[in-house]
Structure 1
């Protein structure tokens, strides 16, 4: 059965998956001793005593066990059809790279909305000593200076903002006063705005909970996608931006920043470049409407990858997202995928979570282009893949021990870290180190 599956192309498997084949008529037309005969002892998910049908149909629709001692070659990858790399020319300086994402459209939007909001607020009566009386409409140059001063404030930490302009010799940092006065900086901070409050309509807004930042956020994400094309291997995972304020959709993730705002990120595996992002706001999270009928995990991955479909990308996911349903969606759109999977996921082989293994044992099943694998290390490791077979590679552990490890697990460890690399770049210690290096 496995050898038959190995001869099928991805396009052939997709045709069988989409076709309206009458399995009973095929069963009547085939011999009972044909290689496609499945019995109740074969490990497949069947209700009758046996089914006779074409091997290709079985390979595309039914989980079949793989003989790991004589495994067939891995399924072919879909051809990668995009040209990866930077798509906009710029000087090789930190500011030039920043301006690729905070371009003229983003800066202009913030300047217009900030001045508009300040005008609205200043229409109300003010006291004779109100510092807001000194407000003057800001320009794009003012905003760049304001943003620039926020970066060293993250490096040189002080408990009060006004201390950055203090003339006390013990805590003085003269640089800030040479760029902008504390008075002007404070007023920009007070009236900084990204949206027009007067045009907000909750019934028509695509993401009401993000109304304050939605337009600017969309512009920045669009610039991320337009500036760079990621290489073939990408990864999808969640990230947490630390935040301890009052917000209805704050999440708790123990292994990351603990409390904060969660995002679903699509990153290039090799560099950690963030190519697409979706902010999680609870039940009202904005996913692509085309995938609204799927579960949260499947909808999040497909919404992030929608611009990359049918281009031959290979995405790595962890057990939160990996499922047979998701991988079948991706195959139909000429995308490959692999990653760890929870053994009790729906539509997995019937014996996938029940069979007991000894250390270093491997068992595997296939259904068309998808392979499900269980490997016993210190505990069971389960994986799904559309591009791997159950073969193993000799490798060395951190302790120096030589073991055989499945190729799919090695590749997963190599390509899953895209989002972790992006988070690593946001780490405070590394930000300080890199900032000082560039001064």
Structure 2
């Protein structure tokens, strides 16, 4: 009811605190802002913003038109974000395409189950990244789609999906790496006609596969291949048969070494696929360490915070590559901490945690400002009790036996101004505990400081 407009500075602080929540494990969000809970109290949260204001902004968070339904709540925002990702960074030759799953167990008609993913249940994204993890393009799966006019209108659904994600990078000579969910002889031919190479694993039941390669029985270490135009299909027996498809590498056996230095024979297309296919897995791994999405029934808010995590990861990728020259000692957590300090406005202030507790500026987000004439004093100190009193409002309890829960007294400041105004609040930090209405707290304590 008392909502006020959000400024750009305030929304930046809100996003900074949301990122900081990814570093802290807490059972309830409000506990991070609570001054009375000694187990979960974090001074930085209430120092930057009150818990009620944070929840107010979170409640109203939205990224589309108010009448938007279903996937349209986030599709335009995703397209805007990915467009900025591509504008800022020119991708290298090698690209990888795979699926990513955002954990969500609520009721949602396009929720997916993927057994191989850690989350298993959630919202599925198709992502296009560089070989080292920078996210370039993405599409959220939102159920069965109506037929649309695009580059792959005569192909399968997976072909349409790959061509849609690769649309900004076709005809530029890129090399795309995909797993067997997407690959087929027909798709590889389409991509090579668009001056784009592809390499990846291949399912044996694809219609265009060469029958000789599919039915060929191999012993361990054997390698066979066949060619159709510029598309190569190969089969190699390791512990089990592995089928590969490529247009960017002639099938051959090469000698490679693993991370332990052990050398062995392996097909060149398999070695190339293993080297450049891990971009999505790398970005998902690092994002999961400090993920800010929390449990919510509103799926689109979880997607928005997931996009925030992806944006921070991309920013870290560029900052480390061009500002830190890929320094091995500069980690993702270091960048996040520096970024959060800038977003919440404390990067240029030499402020410590104890200062947030002791200094009066901790109450700047309140409607009143406490007295700064002296530090809070400890009273009623015993072996198990240490109460720190300050200039805080408390409600005046009514006398026993009355029907009212709280008592109402004349405000001390308003009475001096000949204004009749009653209030149920008083200052618990002052010795005489004067009754004060909330607007009079600041003026009353300022007058005490001036008299002293």
TM-score (norm 2): 0.62
Q: Distance in 1 between matches of 2:231 and 2:75?
A: 38
What is the root-mean-square deviation in Å for CA atoms of aligned residues?
2.2
1:391 pairs, out of 239, 246, 252, with 252
Q: In the TM superposition, what whole-angstrom CA distance separates every residue of 1:321-354 from its partner, at most 9, and x where no partner exists?
A: 1111111111111111111101221111122211
Establish whether residue 181 from structure 1 lines up as the match of residue 42 from structure 2: no
SS at match of 1:387: coil
1:232-251 counterparts in 2 under 5 A? 232-251=93-112
> 2:3 aligned to 122, 135, 150, which one?
135
- Could you say which residue in structure 2 is the equivalent of 1:326? 187
Tell me if structure 1 keeps the 8 A contact 2:236–2:242: yes
Task: Give the structure 1 partner of residue 137 of structure 2.
Answer: 276
Distance 1:427 1:285, change over 3 A: farther
Higher relative contact order by CA 8 Å / sep ≥ 6: 1 or 2? 1
Q: 1:435 aligns with which of 333, 349, 354?
A: 333
- For structure 1, which runs of at least 5 residues remain unmatched after alignment? 1-132, 201-207
The 8 Å contact of residues 287 and 303 in structure 1, kept in 2 or not, is answered as no
Tell whether 2:150 aligns with 1:262: no
The 8 Å contact of residues 22 and 290 in structure 2, kept in 1 or not, is answered as: no
Match of 1:378 in 2: 239
Aligned match for 1:194, one of 63, 67, 88: 63
Aligned to 1:37: none
Match of 2:41 in 1: 172
Of the structure 1 ranges 250-259 and 411-420, higher mean CA displacement relative to structure 2 is found in 250-259
Contiguous gaps of at least 5 residues in structure 2: 293-308, 310-330, 338-452
SS class of match (1:148): helix
User: Partner of 2:362 in structure 1?
Assistant: none
Local SS of the residue matching 2:15? helix
SS in 1 for 2:232: strand
- CA distance in structure 1 between the aligned counterparts of 2:191 and 2:38, rounded to whole angstroms: 62
SS of corresponding position for 1:348: coil
Equivalent residue, structure 2, for 1:342: 203
Within 2, Cα distance between the matches of 1:288 and 1:425?
36
**Do the aligned partners of 2:100 and 2:125 also contact (CA within 8 Å) in 1?**
yes
2:87 is aligned to: 226
Find the residue that maps to 1:134 and give its secondary structure: coil
Per the alignment, residue 266 of structure 2 pairs with 405
The Cα shift of 1:391 comes to: 1.4
Cα distance in 2 for partners of 1:193, 1:430 equals 20
Asked if structure 2 preserves the Cα contact closer than 8 Å seen for 1:322 and 1:341, the reply is yes
User: Is the 1:235–1:267 Cα contact (8 Å) retained in structure 2?
Assistant: yes
